[in-house]
C-alpha cells in the first residue's frame, strides 16, 4: 500500500455540516473524483484520495491541502480485494474511523460497431471495476461506517444516466444499472445499522476524458434542457449533500444530476415545435 505521509489521530470536533468526518473516495485522481475530494474537504472532511494511479492521487491530495483542506493519498485498485481492504484500513487508521465512502472508480471500454464482436474481456473488466469494485469497497467499509457516531455513516455511489436510459456503452451501462440496484438493496440492508446508501447519476460532464472532443460537448449541450453539459463541481455538490446531515432521512435513492436530460426527449419536442428557444 503506497500512501502519503499521513497523520493518524483521534477525531476532533469540526465545523462542517456533519462536523469533522473521515471520507474515502475511489477513482479520485482527476475529474469528478477530484472535485468530490475538494468539495468534501471544504465541508470539513478529512479525505483519503485513492486511485489506481498513485501519482494522480497524490496530485489531488496536494491540491486539496493547498486549498486549506486535509487530505492524504493512497493507491487503491478496486479490482483487488487486498488493495481495497488496505485502503479502508488506512482510512480508519488516519481518521480514527470512517464515516463516508464514495464509490467513484469505473471502467469504460467503447462499444464496437457490431455487438456480436464485443470482447468478453472488456465486458468483464467494465463490470468488475464499476460494479464489483463498488461491492468490494462497500463490503470492506460497512462495519466501520456502521460504527460511525450519530448514525452518520454513508455510502454515495456514482452512477450514470446510462444506467437509466440508452445512451450507448453496453457494459458500462449495465454496470451502472447494476450499481443503482445495489444501492437500493444495500440501503435496505444497511439502514438498521445506521448507514445510508444513495447514488448520484450524472449526465455528460466535461472532464479530461473529453479533451479533443470539445465539438461533441458543444453538440451535446444543445440536447440538455438546461443548455449545458455538467461540470465536476455539479456532481461534487450533490455528493456533499447526500453525505451530509442535511440528507439524514434519505436512503436508497438515485439522484439524477443531469441538466434535465432524463425529463424527456428535447430533440423530439423541438422537432414537433413544442420547445421554447
pLDDT for residue 4: 54
Q: Is the dihedral of CA 129, 131, 133, 134 positive or negative?
A: positive
pLDDT for residue 257: 98
pTM higher than 0.75: yes
pLDDT for residue 273: 79
The residues near 49 (Cβ < 8 Å, ≥ 6 apart) are 25, 28, 29, 33, 34, 37, 57, 58, 60, 61, 64, 71, 72, 73, 74
Q: Does the annotation mark 172 as catalytic?
A: yes
Q: Which of 21, 106, 176, 224 is catalytic?
A: 176
Q: Is the dihedral of CA 147, 175, 242, 87 positive or negative?
A: positive
How does DSSP assign 84-131, residue by residue? HHHHHHHHHHHHSS--EEEE-----PPPPSSGGG--HHHHHHHHIIII
Q: Which of 106, 172, 213, 224 is catalytic?
A: 172
In this prediction, residues 114-125 reach a mean pLDDT of 96
Q: Does the annotation mark 21 as catalytic?
A: no
Residue 9 banded pLDDT, cuts 50, 70, 90: very low
Q: What is the pLDDT of residues 15-58, one digit of tens each?
A: 334 447 999 999 999 999 999 999 999 999 999 999 999 999 99
Residue 276 banded pLDDT, cuts 50, 70, 90: low
Geometric angle at alpha carbon 257, from 253 and 258, rounded to 5°: 130
Residue 267 banded pLDDT, cuts 50, 70, 90: confident
Domains in the chain: boundaries: 21-201+232-256
- Is 274 or 184 the better-scoring residue by pLDDT? 184
User: Residue 79 above 70 pLDDT?
Assistant: yes
pLDDT for residue 12: 39
Q: Which CATH superfamily is domain 21-201+232-256 in?
A: NAD(P)-binding Rossmann-like Domain (3.40.50.720)
pLDDT for residue 6: 42
How far, in Å, are 223, 258, 268 from residue 229 at the CA level?
9, 8, 19
Q: What is the pLDDT of residues 62-71, one digit of tens each?
A: 999 999 999 9
Q: What is the pLDDT of residues 132-180, one digit of tens each?
A: 999 999 999 999 999 999 999 999 999 999 999 999 999 999 999 999 9
- Cβ contact 152:247 at 8 Å: no
35, containing H or E segment: helix 31-42
Q: What is the pLDDT of residues 170-218, one digit of tens each?
A: 999 999 999 999 999 999 999 999 999 999 999 999 998 888 888 999 9
Q: What is the pLDDT of residues 215-248, one digit of tens each?
A: 999 999 999 999 999 999 999 999 999 999 999 9
Amino acid at each position: 500500500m503506497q500512501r502519503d505521509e499521513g497523520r493518524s489521530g483521534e477525531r476532533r470536533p469540526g465545523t462542517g455540516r456533519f462536523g469533522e468526518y473521515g471520507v474515502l473516495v475511489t477513482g479520485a485522481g482527476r475529474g469528478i473524483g477530484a472535485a468530490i475530494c475538494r468539495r468534501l474537504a471544504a465541508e470539513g472532511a478529512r479525505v483519503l484520495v485513492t486511485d489506481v494511479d498513485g501519482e494522480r492521487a497524490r496530485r489531488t491530495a496536494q491540491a486539496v491541502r493547498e486549498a486549506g483542506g486535509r487530505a492524504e493519498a493512497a493507491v487503491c485498485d478496486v479490482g483487488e480485494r487486498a488493495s481495497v481492504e488496505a485502503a479502508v484500513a488506512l482510512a480508519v487508521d488516519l481518521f480514527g474511523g470512517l464515516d463516508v465512502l464514495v464509490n467513484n472508480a469505473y471502467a469504460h471500454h467503447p462499444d464496437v460497431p457490431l455487438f456480436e464482436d464485443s470482447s468478453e474481456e472488456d465486458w468483464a473488466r467494465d463490470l468488475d471495476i464499476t460494479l464489483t469494485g463498488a461491492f468490494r469497497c462497500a463490503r470492506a467499509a460497512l462495519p466501520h461506517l456502521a460504527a460511525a457516531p450519530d448514525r452518520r455513516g454513508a455510502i454515495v455511489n456514482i452512477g450514470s444516466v446510462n444506467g437509466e436510459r440508452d445512451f450507448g456503452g453496453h457494459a458500462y451501462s449495465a454496470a451502472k444499472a447494476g450499481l443503482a440496484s445495489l444501492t437500493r438493496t444495500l440501503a435496505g440492508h444497511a439502514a438498521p445499522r445506521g448507514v445510508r446508501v444513495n447514488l448520484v447519476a450524472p449526465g455528460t460532464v466535461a472532464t479530461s476524458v473529453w479533451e479533443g472532443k470539445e465539438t461533441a460537448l458543444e453538440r451535446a449541450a444543445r440536447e440538455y434542457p438546461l443548455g449545458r453539459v455538467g461540470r465536476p463541481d455539479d456532481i461534487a455538490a450533490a455528493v456533499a449533500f447526500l453525505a451530509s446531515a442535511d440528507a439524514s432521512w434519505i436512503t436508497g435513492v438515485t439522484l439524477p444530476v443531469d441538466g434535465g436530460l432524463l425529463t424527456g426527449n428535447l430533440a423530439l419536442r423541438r422537432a414537433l415545435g413544442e420547445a421554447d428557444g
